[in-house]
Structure 1
Amino acid sequence: MLVVVGDLLEDIVVWATGPIRAATDSAAQVFRSRGGSAANVAAHAAAHVRTRFIGRVGDDGAGVALASALAASGVDVRGQREGRTGAVVLLVAPDGERTMFPDRASAAELHDVPADWLDGISWLHVPSYGFEHEPMRGEVHRLVDLARERGARVSIDASSTGLLEGLGVELVIGWFAELRPDVLFANETEAELLGVADGGPVAASVADRVVVKHGPAPTEVFDGGARIARVSVTPVGAVRDLTGAGDAFAAGYVAAAMAGADATASCVAGHALAASVIASPGGDVDRG
């Protein structure tokens, strides 16, 4: 079973339909959906592997609705409920690039997760958003240790350059080296910031395998700092919203790896799921 730990939030997605003009009105479409990086991964993976989500929402109607929506995707939802449910406002430019305004609220207060919520685990996935605040940061470290005790593999997603810079890149590199995930996912800019874009000693120090995504350019895979695969991305149609593409990639990659796929096949599975979300608003599962 795949267990994903992290945020379950409401996404408020603003698609700019023309130039974004400061201090006045800008034409847009606005969508609301179930969001959160960890929840996105869980929802996409659930169609391919038994999946459990662990997180925290507010004790409010929004929290109930989000947990129900995630469960409807086939995910076993194990959640704490207290306080106020978080949300993210995503401003999406016409070229698909996003500017995000996160308010994690109760999601960042995850703590004291029952150990039996990890029963049956074979893989733990954690977006780096879980490291942003205490007490969740310490709880993520504890859950990684518990997962290791159960023989599970671990993956971490670098998640965001803004997050990494806000926490301090050297500090984050130290955490990654301490936790030593089996797989670290990073996009091109995250990998450059961490110093792992071309493999090398830093990549070797932070994870057994580093997977670097380059958008439409080939994805690169490094084991022990040495490149072992360069996997082409099948061209897709128009890109409208990149929100959640990295989460979908992680879901596809991990599900394939859990089934025994090698690095190349796992990347191909990740590319296919990522392609399924870039034409629709937000990072939720595209139901057509």
Structure 2
Amino acid sequence: MLCTIGDLVEDVVVWLNTELNFGSDTESVIRRTRGGSAANVSMFAALTGTPSRFIGQVGHDRLGSHLCEVLRDSGVDVHVIADGRTGSIVVLVQPNGQRSFLTDRGVASHLKHFDTTLMNNVSILHIPTYSLTDEPLASTCVQYVNVARATGTLISIDASSASVLKQYGTDRYRALIQSLSPEVFMCNEDEAAVLGLGPQKPMTGALLTVIKQGPLPVIAVQHDGTTTEVAVTPVANIVDTTGAGDAFAAGFLPHYVKTKEIKHAIAQGHAVASRVLQSPGATLNTSQQ
């Protein structure tokens, strides 16, 4: 089972038909979907055949209840504390595909409830960096990481956001990752640049660093610097990149934990990510099974 800890929020995805007209009107297409990096990974995993669990906090409101229901309907084992106000994220998608995020996490970072039994039957613990920067959620995540390490569960961390890394402080962040010692550390090219990662330059403390570069080859760097580059199959008819990195994790991790075959796991990660790229928001293209 794959378990994630973190945000379950509403994504309000706005596709701008033209460049944003500040102070005036801009014609757009607007869609509301379930979002949150941790929730995305758990849902994509469940929808592609991997049992998954989500741990988090939502508001004691209709939105929080609805988002939990959507996750459960996708096959996710949902464990949340419901208190306060559920968060929302506005995703502005420019005509050229560039995305900007306006974030209101609500109570997502307020989780302090810890239940060691939720790690039963878990083989993968995946934590986005969004879950490691604000208290009390960050300390709660560390508790789950400690249980995972003691039980031999694969620990995976995603860098989440270049701006979040800069705000947190890169030296402080490197020390955090070294202390958590994940088996897998994932990032995109922007996050890798902030952290100084690349071929022969893995994340300190991680056994495997996976750098996603959009349409360019994925770079996998082992802790000793051994580097593997894996070309990805071009994706036609890209609709939106929201959630693609989370989908990659949902495809990569279950195969990696079983086989340790880096190239095959990357191919599986890309296969799931491609389905999200062809669907609006953090959703899967259901025409591909």
SS at match of 1:49: coil
Cα separation, 1, equivalents of 2:24 and 2:236:
32
Matched residue type, 2:128:
P
Cα separation, 1, equivalents of 2:12 and 2:135:
25
- 2:139 corresponds to: 138
- 1:220 corresponds to: 219
SS at match of 1:33: strand
Q: TM-score, normalised by structure 2?
A: 0.96
More off after superposition, 92-101 vs 182-191? 92-101
The alignment status of 1:26 with 2:26, answered yes or no, reads yes
TM-fit CA distance, 1:31: 0.2
Matched residue type, 2:36:
G
Aligned pairs (5 A) from 1:52-63: 52-63=53-64
Aligned pairs (5 A) from 1:57-96: 57-96=58-97
Aligned pairs (5 A) from 1:255-274: 255-274=254-273
TM-fit CA distance, 1:259: 3.0
- 1:238 corresponds to: 237
CA contact (8 A) 2:199 2:227 kept: no
Q: CA RMSD in A?
A: 1.3
TM-fit CA distance, 1:239: 2.4
- 1:250 corresponds to: 249
Matched residue type, 2:259:
G
Q: TM-score, normalised by structure 1?
A: 0.96
CA contact (8 A) 1:35 1:284 kept: no
TM-fit CA distance, 1:150: 1.7
Provide the aligned length of Structure 1 versus Structure 2. Answer: 286
Cα separation, 2, equivalents of 1:131 and 1:173:
12
TM-fit CA distance, 1:261: 4.9
- 1:277 corresponds to: 276
Aligned pairs (5 A) from 1:73-222: 73-200=74-201, 203=202, 205-222=204-221
Q: Moved runs in structure 1, 4+ residues, more than 4 A?
A: none
Matched residue type, 1:207:
A
